[in-house]
Amino acid sequence: MTHYFVTGATGFLGRRLVRRLLERPDCERVSVLVRESSKTRLDRLTEDWPHPERVVSVLGDLGADGLGVDPATLPSAPDHVVHLGAIYDLTADEAANEQANVAGTANALAFARDANAGLFHHVSSIAVAGDHNGRFTESDFDLGQRFPTPYHATKFAAERLVRRQDAVPFRVYRPSAVVGDSVTGEMDKIDGPYYFLPALRRLASLPSWLPLASPELGKTNVVPVDYVVDAMAYLMHREAPSGATYHLASPRSQSLNEIASVFSAAAGGPRIRARVPIDISGRMRKLGRALNANEKPRPVKKSLTGALTEIGIPPQLLPALNAPVDFDTAQTEHALTGSGLECPAFADYAPVLYRHWAAELDPDRARRQRMNARTVLVTGASSGIGRATALQLAERGANVVLVARRAEELDAVRDQIRAAGGKAASYPCDLTDDEAVDALVKQVLAEQGTVDMLVNNAGRSIRRPVAASTERMHDYERTMALNYFAPLRLSLALIPSMAAQRFGHIVNVTTQGIQVHAPRFSAYLASKAALDEFGAVAGRELLAEGVTFSSVRVPLVRTQMSKPGASAYRMLPSMAPEQAAALVVRALTHRAPAVNTAFGSLAGLADTLMPRMGRLATHLAEFQARPETAPDSMHLHPRRHPLVAVVSTATRLAWRPRPKG
Q: Find all residues with CB under 8 Å of 419, minimum gap 6, and list them.
A: none
Pairing of the two strands 219-220 and 254-255: antiparallel
Q: Name the phi and psi angles at 174, rounded to 5.
A: -115, 90
Long-range contacts of range 277-281, CB-CB < 8 Å, 24 or more positions apart?
277/216, 278/215, 278/216, 279/215, 279/216, 279/218, 280/215, 280/216, 280/217, 281/216, 281/217, 281/218, 281/256, 281/321, 281/322, 281/324
484 is catalytic: no
Query: Catalytic residue among 4, 246, 484, 524, which?
Result: 524
SS3 618: helix
CA distance 197 to 259: 10
Cβ(629)–Cβ(564) under 8 Å? yes
How far, rounded to the nearest angstrom, does the alpha carbon of residue 219 sit from its chain's CA centroid? 30
**CA nearest neighbour of 334 among 244, 222, 221:** 244
CA distance 45 to 111: 25
CA distance 221 to 332: 16
**CA nearest neighbour of 457 among 402, 392, 495, 498:** 402
SS3 142: coil
CA distance 580 to 388: 8
The total of other beta-carbon atoms located within 10 Å of residue 480's CB is 20
Cα torsion 411, 417, 419, 425 to 10°: value is -50
SS3 162: helix
How far, rounded to the nearest angstrom, does the alpha carbon of residue 629 sit from its chain's CA centroid? 50
The total of other beta-carbon atoms located within 10 Å of residue 268's CB is 14
CA distance 129 to 573: 77
Cβ(33)–Cβ(85) under 8 Å? yes
Q: Find all residues with CB under 8 Å of 622, minimum gap 6, and list them.
A: 516, 518, 519
Cβ(561)–Cβ(518) under 8 Å? no
DSSP secondary structure letter of residue 84 = -
CA distance 629 to 465: 10
Q: Name the phi and psi angles at 463, rounded to 5.
A: -110, 105
Cα torsion 337, 341, 343, 348 to 10°: value is 140
Q: Which residues are catalytic?
A: 524
